[in-house]
Amino acid sequence: MKKVTVDELKPGMKLAKDIILSDGRFLLLKGFTLKERYLEKIRMYDIPYIYVENEIEKVEYFNEEIIYSETLNTVKNVMKSVRDGGSIVVGSVKSAVSKIVQGIYKNDNVFMRLSGIRDFDNYTYLHSVDVCIYSIIAGKSLNLSPEMINNLALGAILHDIGKCKIPLSILNKPAKLSDSEFEIMKKHSEYGYDIIMKTPGLNGDIAKIALNHHEHWNGDGYPKGLKEEEIDLLSRIVAIADVYDALTADRVYRKRFMPHQAVEYLISNSRAQFDPKILNIFMESIAVYPPDIIVMLSTGEIGKVVQSKGPPSIRPKIMVIARKGGPPVIEPYEVDLAKNPQISVVDII
């Protein structure tokens, strides 16, 4: 075992001790083999040093991780190109989206496990990829045609492309926006529509998603104040995925919601902000806590999620493997949150 600084960390290093933040939250557990995207997460926090094993293991990436990483880089390159006055490279976006669609039709749980790892610098890009994943999963459950799924996926991944026309001082402001700044930010939906409509190879159904994903079911949204079925179907799907993903991300001005808290927010805004029928299907189709992710319970117990998707994943079964500050768990045991309402998930590790 050796002590290294964050700058000395490399993919393949294996944690010799848990990484615990100054506020007591567990970031990663002992025995975890580091990959690049987890190194980015560690760098977000002011951690002076970390204990790792002496040997460095060969890092193996599974196919879905490669697809996710490639898609993230595609979104980043496209947004930087548009911000610099260039255009959307349609071929690369379509190729990336096609791989995600195919992967989700094979096993959507894998992609749900990949979503939600954020760093502030890449928030917009990661958000676009995750919204695309959630939207495709919902579209799949709605039995949309392949053409509609394709338009949905492209619109979801490009839903915030108009933010490339928003001043960086507003886009990257480390606090809540003022009313005047928010009025400028709201223009991103119209900017996005214009960008997509001017891009050969993309169509009006894709552009409408950029335009309408902030419209509300009750007509209180923007830019046009559309309501109910005046809002196109694909935009109603992305609207839900957009808010769910935004709530479950740490922001400079607020701590993230736990996934079950985000679901509660969506439910409380059904019929006001969201199409209630699509919201029900969204909640049935996603895994709020995907199987195999590691969570901390309000009891201090740490465990792996056992159950899969739909409403049962809001209060899943947890296989406890460790305890915060307590004796080691020799024999893992199961806690069913559905049968223990006094216990809740307080962090995702």
Cis amide leading into 259 (omega within 30): no
Domain with residues 2-56, CATH architecture: Alpha-Beta Complex (3.90)
Token pair of 60, please?
Answer: 């193996």
Stretch among 58-62, 76-80, 129-133, 195-199 having the lowest mean pLDDT? 58-62
Superfamily for 63-285? Answer: Hypothetical protein af1432 (1.10.3210.10)
Cα separation, 24 vs 137, whole angstroms: 34
Q: Is the pLDDT at 201 greater than 90, yes or no?
A: yes
Provide the H-helix boundaries in 33-167: 36-43, 63-83, 90-106, 108-114, 123-141, 146-157
Strand order in the sheet with 13-15: 2-4, 50-56, 13-15
CB 187 within 8 A of CB 154: no
**Which of 112, 106, 162, 109 has the alpha carbon at shortest distance from 132?**
112
Mean pLDDT value across residues 268-279 = 93
Hunting for tokens 């119209």 — which residue is that? 190
Q: How many CB atoms lie within 10 A of CB 232?
A: 18
Token pair of 90, please?
Answer: 């349609």
Mean pLDDT value across residues 179-198 = 96
Which pLDDT does position 127 carry in this prediction?
A: 92
For 21-32, the DSSP string reads -TTS-EEE-TTP
Tell which wins on pLDDT, 342 or 271. 342
Residues in the chain: 349
CB 2 within 8 A of CB 52: yes
**Which of 230, 171, 234, 185 has the alpha carbon at shortest distance from 207?**
234
Confidence (pTM) = 0.84
The burial of 322, by beta-carbon neighbours within 10 Å (0-12 exposed, 13-18 middle, 19 or more buried), is given as: buried
Which pLDDT does position 252 carry in this prediction?
A: 64
Stretch among 128-142, 165-179, 249-263 having the lowest mean pLDDT? 249-263
Cα separation, 96 vs 84, whole angstroms: 22
Cα separation, 68 vs 115, whole angstroms: 9
Token pair of 208, please?
Answer: 């409408």
Which pLDDT does position 41 carry in this prediction?
A: 74
Phi, psi of 296 (to 5 degrees): -110, 135
Which pLDDT does position 120 carry in this prediction?
A: 59
pLDDT tens-digit series, residues 303-317: 999 876 778 888 999
For the chain, the average pLDDT equals 88
Cα separation, 186 vs 295, whole angstroms: 35
Q: Is the pLDDT at 53 greater than 70, yes or no?
A: yes
Which pLDDT does position 85 carry in this prediction?
A: 92
Stretch among 30-34, 152-156, 184-188 having the lowest mean pLDDT? 30-34
Which pLDDT does position 17 carry in this prediction?
A: 84
Cα separation, 23 vs 61, whole angstroms: 31
Q: Is the pLDDT at 33 greater than 70, yes or no?
A: yes
**Which of 233, 195, 201, 196 has the alpha carbon at shortest distance from 217?**
233
Amino acid of residue 33: T
Percentage of residues in the chain with pLDDT exceeding 70? 95
Q: How many CB atoms lie within 10 A of CB 151?
A: 22
Token pair of 349, please?
Answer: 């590790």
The H-or-E segment that residue 245 falls in is helix 233-247
Which pLDDT does position 118 carry in this prediction?
A: 63
Mean pLDDT value across residues 180-189 = 96
Q: Where in the chain are the domains?
A: 2-56, 63-285, 294-348
CB 224 within 8 A of CB 196: no
CB 313 within 8 A of CB 283: no
pLDDT tens-digit series, residues 220-233: 999 999 999 999 99
* Residue 327 confidence class, pLDDT cut points 50, 70, 90: confident
* Residue 234 confidence class, pLDDT cut points 50, 70, 90: very high
Which pLDDT does position 61 carry in this prediction?
A: 65
pLDDT tens-digit series, residues 115-164: 766 665 677 888 999 999 999 999 999 999 999 999 999 999 999 999 99
**Which of 226, 293, 231 has the alpha carbon at shortest distance from 260?**
293
Q: Is the pLDDT at 176 greater than 70, yes or no?
A: yes
Token pair of 157, please?
Answer: 């991944």
Which pLDDT does position 108 carry in this prediction?
A: 79
Q: Is the pLDDT at 59 greater than 90, yes or no?
A: no
